[in-house]
Homo-oligomer: A and B are copies of this chain.
């Protein structure tokens, strides 16, 4: 059990970050507003959750203009997808502990 716990990735160890990664695991280039809406987060709150994910290079962003308004979109990197999968595997292992 101890060794499973160490395999849980602290960066993903939060409901909102799990949510972000769940979305980005299957949808490339999701925009800021959509993420905010889906997860019911305030502007600042979403930014503060994206920061550690970006810092770990688990997500990347693209800034573009739609019409003439700026738009930021996010996608999970390959490393992000791998790390997320590893986290979920550890989670699953832990939840099945003892069975």
A interface residues, Cβ below 8 angstroms from B: 1-2, 5, 8, 13, 15, 18-19, 22-23, 25-27, 38-40, 88, 91, 94-99
Instruction: Quickly give the copy total for this chain.
Output: 2
- Measured between beta carbons, the chain B residues less than 8 angstroms from A18 are 91, 94-95
Given contacts A2-B38, A13-B15, A23-B98, 16 further A-B contacts (CB under 8 A): A1-B19, A1-B39, A5-B15, A5-B19, A8-B15, A18-B95, A19-B94, A19-B97, A22-B94, A22-B95, A22-B98, A23-B97, A25-B98, A26-B97, A26-B98, A26-B99
Minimal beta-carbon separation of A56 from chain B (angstroms): 18
Known: A13-B15, A15-B8, A15-B13. A97 touches B39 (CB 8 A): no
- Measured between beta carbons, the chain B residues less than 8 angstroms from A27 are 98
